[in-house]
Amino acid sequence: MGMNEKEFVKEVTPRTENFSQWYLDLVLKTELMDYAPVKGCMAIRPYGFAIWENMKELLDRRIKETGHQNAYFPLFIPESLLQKEAEHVEGFAPEVALVTHGGNEKLSERLVVRPTSEAIICSMYAKWVQSWRDLPLLINQWCNVVRWEKTTRPFLRTSEFLWQEGHTVHCTEEEAETEALQMLGVYKDFVESELAVPVISGLKTEREKFAGALHTYTIEALMADGRALQAGTSHNLGQHFSKVFDIQYLDKDKQLKYAWQTSWGVSTRLIGALIMVHGDDRGLRLPPQVAPLQAVIVPVITKKKREAVLQKCREILEELTGTVRVHLDQRAEYSVGWKFNEWEMKGVPLRLEVGPRDLEQGVALAVRRDTGEKSAIPLADLAQQVPLFLKDIQASLFQQAADFLKKNTHRVHSYQEFKDVLAEKKGFVLGFWCGAADCEEKIKDETKATIRCMPLETAQKETGPCLFCGQKGKIAYFARAY
């Protein structure tokens, strides 16, 4: 191991030593992002953006398969428009960026850079929705949004971030509710199948719901440090926005009625979840489904056999291209050991080593990033075996995370037990809660744990005494969260 290799690894703080620093070191070192010269903003570098592109493609397909179409609405919202829905403006007012000048002149009305697009979209929907024939209206957009954050952290909380936001309009309350739950299911399936991140799903409390929604559904993931991360939300907006923006439709019975709405979104924050769920001391471990590179071929070169080894590597590259996202690391200026470390840190699921001895035996050495396991694969079987390895790695990463989630979900029956678990074990803590905002807030003040969600009603049967006040309550998931 040369000097370079040591230096390379040394620069990332061990995860077990300081989780937060490990995360910051890793996102920089693996070139997922870099800090930009604007407070709280980042540049998403090609390696990080390729993860987002893969996520986007896989989720966009699901969004379209459920009947939605993409569109694009303006970045700017006139301040008066945002202020129409009272709860909504209250929720976002402290976070907005304001444009006051355009083309060297002061604007007559200030423009808000969208923190979310309900206001601007509803103002358009009011024109587009006239009759029951126009419904349901099922639109999604992929865009950037801005929320002026005081404390920021790459991917998890930045002043500007990328996301998708779905905005739908329906004839009835029931249809809107069905839609909100459908999209919650789409998110859960997407995050679990493609990101290999298991989630719990449920209903947000009134305190934690989206500003302006009737109610908010959420999927919540558990990071490796035992803290929860809200990974996606789906809102039943009820008629809050349709009433203030006047979205009415003429129903079949010739009556003019206010429409029912939903909105739902996930963001680049999911990249943070990927890192904090799967990463280890050696770096990222990316699930094959969203990894920019699924396999990397590293020639193990000796002076003698250099050309023969490289030639074989190029043949393997050609054979795998089109089937998997594969790269051949031909760089002459780095040692083999340095390359191994770098691709491990970058989280490439499978490394294929090809050296002179492998050549003689007609094999490549496959090294799994998830387990470190090594297997010699006959060259003739590579095209068939590599996709199977990737499938297995995807499943194994999910299983490891699911085991971790299970192990770190604790059922408690008293407030003392609740506090003990939070202090010693972290993770999700399940206990009864009476539904009072007061109890919720006091628990948060005293323990820093918030209610992440309540299981959906269909799954809610048990009742018992509230952890805090002892009144009759239902099950809630608590955790300290990002």
Interaction site with its own copies (CB under 8 A)? 34, 36-38, 41-46, 48-50, 52-53, 69-78, 81, 93-104, 110-111, 113, 120, 123-124, 127-128, 133, 139, 143-144, 146, 148-150, 159-160, 162, 333
Q: How far is the CB of 102 from its own copies (least distance, A)?
A: 4
Q: Report in angstroms how near the CB of residue 386 gets to its own copies at its nearest.
A: 22
User: What are 352's strand-pairing partners?
Assistant: 297, 366
Q: How far is the CB of 56 from its own copies (least distance, A)?
A: 11
SS (H, E, C) 84-95: CCHHHHHHHHHH
Backbone phi, then psi, for 8, in 5-degree steps? -60, -50
β-pairing verdict for 295-299 and 350-354: parallel
Minimum Å gap between C-beta 318 and its own copies is 16
Please state whether beta strands 374-378 and 295-299 pair in parallel, antiparallel, or not at all (unpaired): unpaired
Q: In 10 A of CB 57, how many CB atoms?
A: 11
The first and second tokens of residue 366, run together, are 């496959």
Closer by beta carbon to its own copies, 167 or else 452:
167
Return the number of the residue (151 or 458) whose C-beta is nearest its own copies. 151
User: Do 191 and 232 form a contact (C-beta atoms < 8 A)?
Assistant: yes
Distance, in Å, from the CA atom of 408 to the CA atom of 414, rounded to the nearest integer, reads: 18
**Which alpha helices (DSSP H) does 334-375 contain, by range?**
336-345, 356-361
Q: Which is nearer to its own copies, 77 or 200 (CB)?
A: 77
Q: Whole-number minimum distance, CB 442 to its own copies, in Å? A: 28
Rank residues 342 and 358 by Cβ distance to its own copies and give the closer one: 342
CA-closest candidate to residue 247, choices 76, 137, 122: 122
- Residue 251 CB coordination number (10 Å): 14
Judge whether 450 and 481 are in contact, CB under 8 Å: yes
Q: Could you give the 3-state DSSP secondary structure of residue 256?
A: strand
- Residue 372 CA to residue 388 CA, distance in Å, equals 16
Question: Smallest distance from the beta carbon of 297 to its own copies, in angstroms?
Answer: 19
In the complex with its own copies, the residue whose CB is nearer, 181 or 250, is: 250
Give the span between the Cα atoms of 244 and 18, in whole angstroms. 48
Task: With residue 398 as reference, give the H or E element that holds it.
Answer: helix 382-407
Q: State the nearest-atom distance from the C-beta of 178 to its own copies, in Å.
A: 21
**Minimum CB distance to its own copies smaller for 161 or for 432:** 161
Contact between 433 and 413 (Cβ < 8 Å)? no
Q: Which residues contact 133 (CB under 8 A, 6 or more apart)?
A: none
Task: Tell me whether residue 205 or residue 341 sits nearer to its own copies (CB atom).
Answer: 341
- The whole-angstrom separation of Cα 219 and Cα 198 is 9
Nearest to 271 by CA among 40, 64, 33: 33
Residue 266 gets the label, from left (phi > 0), alpha (psi -120 to 50) or beta, of beta
Q: Which residue, 103 or 372, is less far from its own copies as judged by CB? A: 103
| 3-state SS assignment for residue 1 | coil
| CB nearer its own copies, residue 92 or residue 210 | 92
Q: Give least dist CB 333 to its own copies, A.
A: 7
For its own copies, the closer of residues 68 and 188 by Cβ is 68
> Residue 168 CB, nearest distance to its own copies (Å)?
13
Question: CB of residue 141 vs its own copies: minimum separation in angstroms?
Answer: 8
Nearest distance, CB of residue 110 and its own copies, angstroms:
8
Q: What is the DSSP letter of 455?
A: -
What is the CB neighbour count within 10 angstroms for residue 99? Answer: 13
Residue 94 or 372: which CB sits closer to its own copies? 94
Q: Which two tokens stand for residue 333?
A: 């200026």
Answer yes or no: are the C-beta atoms of 343 and 296 closer than 8 Å.
yes
Residues 6+ apart with CB under 8 A from 49: none
Residue closer to its own copies, measured from CB, 162 or 308:
162
Name the minimum Å distance from CB 228 to its own copies: 25
